[in-house]
Amino acid sequence: MFEFVNEASEPIKSDLMTVNMGPQHPATHGVLRVEIQTDSEVVARATPHIGYLHRCMEKHCEHLDYRGVIPFTDRLDYLAAMNMEWTYVLAVEKMLKTEVPIRAEYVRVIIGELQRIASHLMFFGTYAIDLGAFTPFLYAFQDRENILRIFEEVSGARLLYNYIWVGGVWNDLTDDHLVRIENFLETFEESIKKYHKLVGENQIFISRTAHVGVISKDQVYDYGLTGPVLRGSGIDWDLRKNRPYSIYDKFEFDVIKGEGLKGQLGDCWDRYYVRMMEMHESIKIIRQALAGIEAGPVMGKVPKIIKPAKGEVYMRTECPRGELGIHLVSDGTKVPYRLKVKSSCFTHVSALGEMAPGMLIADLVASIGSIDIVLGEVDR
Amino acid sequence: MSAEIEIHHLSSTRPQEESLTLGKWFRNIWTGLSTALKGMMITGKYIYGVKPVTIEYPEVREQLPANSRSRLFNDAENCISCYQCATACPVDCIYITATRRDSDAEKIKTKDGTPIRLDLHQYTIDTALCCYCGLCTTVCPTECLTHTTDYEFAQYTLGGFKYDYLAPDIREWRTRLVKD
């Protein structure tokens, strides 16, 4: 009788295999290349390589006047362009010490929160695709289309808006728009509960995401992670609440934190949960803004040529994917001396190397999806 | 290099599942089936009575909202060659050439009464470079440069995107694109 004997009686010696995931890979959400060293199906090391979408945005801005930079900030996070513009515009306004009309502030909040919903819907759809479900993607796009249609009517474009300007906003929201936003929220609140039941409570989805890609509180502080990734690890921090900018101090809303409901604290499911529940909070904020909006102009007094005094400002806001920081240096001329963008996605990608060791390759896909990166913001 | 090769025998960091009992096996099947069924109930409602949302493009053409920022059009007769659009453009895709008008030439005005003091010789926009941000249209004092709602302008060559707004064939767009 043949008997197989492993003479060495020790684990079989094996070398690590290097696999490149991306840059053209549907699960990397853009042109991210992750160099993975695997031992069979388990990831030993993952190194994200970035720079495939680098467009020298910061250098470009040193040749443009302050208004001309706004279309470029759109192209940072093209799924949440309104929030990107808003941050930059707030930085310029801080520099100029401009007063913004109260109606413009309300319009900005409504538009910004609608954009947050649109961005989280995009996450919801693509994350479900990453994990093998196609239907949620179509549902998410159907609802996102309503928001984009309103944006298109009010700003003229569907993705790259150039809508929020220094001193106010370009066009005013009409009464018709306000009614339509209200009606949309009515139906959307129902459908978001439905979507959560469809995806978030599905056993297959839970098995793919719970206990996967855990980021502990210490790791969050070490890497400086922000946004839903930070709150998914159970930390109570939201710039809209803790450092209110614009008129966010007027609104009542909760900061959603991960609680480890299905797995452990800070896993992929928690980050998914935070985003889904944040949409409910955005609905709350928009409803309050719709109730409180006042008639008036939407554009304040701004000089024709923007020439801030010598100095520098740093402005940060809570964007759908995390904190966006804009560091603007002026030397007193009509072009910025330096514009530095601190992007949240960039820090999130850097944490991938820490999350990955010991993960299955399929779980790595789930982890990349759950930190929700947009490569336009990573590479700039 | 060979010194770096270690013995690898990694296992997943997922928490080890407890050993399977018969009761647990059935419970797993039940939760899997029931949650899948719940999802199927939601998707099942979309079989009947839901309006299709897809616009079937070549047959059905969507009408864009009135202030959509699509194909640019310059009504050259009302242009006063003020260069403001070229200055505002963040990607520098507007090329203008103009010379001073002779003092004894006939006095002409735009539609809104602004006197034209410069002769326009070239007004070209390279729309392949254009980022459709709309900054040029907002600074235009006579509102001759506008974004239209025309979105079907594919070309076979890159050069086809250079619109010379003084050329007669492009001037003809006016009747089709611009609503007064």
Mean pLDDT of all residues belonging to chain A: 87
Q: Is the pLDDT of residue B11 over 70?
A: no
Please check whether residue A336 is in contact with residue A330, taking contact to mean a CB–CB distance below 8 angstroms. yes
Q: Which residues contact A378 (CB under 8 A, 6 or more apart)?
A: A30, A32, A50, A53, A343, A345, A346, A349
Q: Is the pLDDT of residue A3 over 70?
A: no
Classify residue B117: in a domain, yes or no. Answer: yes
- Kindly tell me the burial class for residue B101, based on how many C-beta atoms sit within 10 Å of its own C-beta (0-12, 13-18, 19 or more): middle
Q: What is the domain count for chain A?
A: 1
- Give the number of other Cβ atoms within 10 Å of residue A130's Cβ: 20
Residue B1 is predicted with a pLDDT of 41
The alpha carbon of residue A281 is apart from the nearest alpha carbon of chain B, in Å, by 24
Confidence band of A314 (pLDDT split at 50, 70, 90): very high
Residues A143-185: tens digit of each pLDDT: 898 899 889 888 888 888 889 988 888 888 888 889 999 999 9
The alpha carbon of residue A341 is apart from the nearest alpha carbon of chain B, in Å, by 19
Residues B99-114: tens digit of each pLDDT: 888 877 777 777 777 7
Classify residue B40: in a domain, yes or no. Answer: no
Closest CA in chain A for residue B131: A71
Residues B23-53: tens digit of each pLDDT: 888 888 898 898 888 888 888 888 887 888 8
Classify residue A18: in a domain, yes or no. Answer: no
Q: State the alpha helices, DSSP H only, in chain A.
A: 57-60, 70-74, 81-96, 102-130, 135-155, 175-195, 203-209, 217-223, 227-232, 239-242, 268-292, 344-350, 352-355, 361-371, 375-379
Residue A18 is predicted with a pLDDT of 87
For residue B163, report the phi and psi dihedrals to the nearest 5 degrees: -90, 115
- Give the number of other Cβ atoms within 10 Å of residue A180's Cβ: 16
The domain of B87 spans: 75-177
Q: Taking Cα atoms as reference points, which of A332, A327, A380 lies closest to residue A94?
A: A327
Strand order in the sheet with A311-319: A311-319, A322-330, A338-342
Q: What is the domain count for chain B?
A: 1
Ramachandran area for residue A227 (φ above 0: left; ψ -120 to 50: alpha; else beta) = left
DSSP code for B96: E
Q: Is A309 on the interface with B (CB under 8 A)?
A: no
Stretch A329-334: mean pLDDT, rounded?
88
Residue B21 is predicted with a pLDDT of 83
Q: Taking Cα atoms as reference points, which of A110, A63, A59 lies closest to residue A82?
A: A110
A contact test, residue of B9, B40, B94, B130 with most A CBs within 10 A: B9
Please check whether residue B124 is in contact with residue B163, taking contact to mean a CB–CB distance below 8 angstroms. yes
Confidence band of B177 (pLDDT split at 50, 70, 90): low
DSSP A348-378: HHHTHHHH-TTEEHHHHHHHHHHH---HHHH
Residues A240-251: tens digit of each pLDDT: 888 888 888 888
Please check whether residue A316 is in contact with residue A325, taking contact to mean a CB–CB distance below 8 angstroms. yes
Alpha-carbon distances of B148 from A93, B127, B137, B156, rounded to whole Å: 31, 13, 11, 21
Out of B12, B53, B67, the one facing A358 most closely (by C-beta) is B12
One-letter amino acid at A254 equals D
Classify residue A31: in a domain, yes or no. Answer: no
Classify residue A39: in a domain, yes or no. Answer: no
CB contact under 8 A, A71 and B10: no
Whole-angstrom distance, CA of residue A206 vs CA of residue A123:
17
Q: Is the pLDDT of residue A289 over 50?
A: yes
Q: Is the pLDDT of residue B3 over 50?
A: no
Cα B69 from chain centroid (whole Å): 7
Stretch A16-45: mean pLDDT, rounded?
82
Classify residue A21: in a domain, yes or no. Answer: no
ipTM for the predicted complex comes to 0.79
Classify residue B102: in a domain, yes or no. Answer: yes
Confidence band of A117 (pLDDT split at 50, 70, 90): very high
Q: Is the pLDDT of residue A1 over 80?
A: no
Classify residue A357: in a domain, yes or no. Answer: yes
DSSP code for A312: E
Q: Taking Cα atoms as reference points, which of A317, A314, A322 lies closest to residue A225?
A: A322
Classify residue B43: in a domain, yes or no. Answer: no
Classify residue A252: in a domain, yes or no. Answer: yes
Classify residue B51: in a domain, yes or no. Answer: no
Residue A29 is predicted with a pLDDT of 77
Helix, strand, or coil (residue B94): strand
Q: Is the pLDDT of residue B7 over 50?
A: no
CATH no. for residue A324?
1.10.645.10
Q: Is the pLDDT of residue B179 over 70?
A: no
> HSE of B59 in the Cβ direction (CA atoms, 13 Å)?
3
CATH no. for residue B171?
3.30.70.3270
The domain of A212 spans: 49-379
The alpha carbon of residue B141 is apart from the nearest alpha carbon of chain A, in Å, by 13
Residue B105 is predicted with a pLDDT of 76
pTM above 0.80, yes or no: yes
Residues B55-98: tens digit of each pLDDT: 888 898 888 888 888 888 888 888 888 888 888 888 888 898 88
Residues A259-270: tens digit of each pLDDT: 888 878 888 898
Query: Which range (A96-105, A264-273, A350-359, B165-174) has the least confidence?
Result: B165-174
Classify residue B8: in a domain, yes or no. Answer: no
Q: Is the pLDDT of residue B9 over 70?
A: no
Query: Which range (A70-74, A236-240, A302-306) has the least confidence?
Result: A302-306
Give the residue numbers in B contacting A (CB under 8 Å), as ranges. Answer: 5, 7-15, 31-32, 35-36, 38-39, 42-43, 53, 64-65, 67-69, 88-90, 131-135, 138, 147
Q: Is the pLDDT of residue A15 over 60?
A: yes
Residues B122-160: tens digit of each pLDDT: 888 888 888 888 888 888 888 888 888 888 888 898 888
Residue A12 is predicted with a pLDDT of 59
Residue B5 is predicted with a pLDDT of 45
Share of chain A above pLDDT 70, in %: 96
CB contact under 8 A, A71 and B133: yes
Residue A114 is predicted with a pLDDT of 92
B contact test, residue of A76, A162, A166 with most B CBs within 10 A: A162
Classify residue A104: in a domain, yes or no. Answer: yes
Residues A179-225: tens digit of each pLDDT: 999 999 999 998 898 888 888 888 888 888 888 888 888 889 989 89
Q: Is the pLDDT of residue A344 over 80?
A: yes
Q: Which residues contact A352 (CB under 8 A, 6 or more apart)?
A: A34, A46, A48, A367, A368, A371
Classify residue B59: in a domain, yes or no. Answer: no
Classify residue A27: in a domain, yes or no. Answer: no
